[in-house]
Amino acid sequence: MVYVMEIYTDGGCRGNGRPGAIGAAAAVFVPKYGRNTCWTDCLPQYPPPTSQRAEIQAIILALEKALSLYHDLDNDPRLDVTVYSDSRYAVGCMSQWIYKWVKNGWINSAGNDVANQDLLKKASDLDDDLRDQGKVEYVWIPRDKNQDADRLCNEVLDDQSPPSPSSSSSSSSYY
Spans of all domains in the chain: 2-160
Q: Model-level pTM greater than 0.75?
A: yes
What pLDDT, on the 0 to 100 scale, is given for residue 147?
95
Q: CATH top-level class for 2-160?
A: alpha beta
Please state the φ and ψ torsions of residue 45, each to the nearest 5 degrees: -75, -20
Q: Are strands 37-42 and 22-29 parallel, antiparallel or unpaired?
A: antiparallel
What pLDDT, on the 0 to 100 scale, is given for residue 163?
53
Determine the 3-state secondary structure of 160 from DSSP.
Answer: helix
Listed in sequence order, the residues at least 6 apart from 38 whose beta carbon sits closer than 8 Å to its beta carbon are 26, 27, 28, 29, 148, 152, 174, 175
- Taking the chain (175 residues) in runs of 10, the rounded mean pLDDT of each run is 94 91 96 90 93 98 96 90 97 95 93 95 96 96 96 95 47 32
What pLDDT, on the 0 to 100 scale, is given for residue 162?
62
Return the axis-axis angle of helices 51-71 and 117-131, rounded to nearest 10°: 30
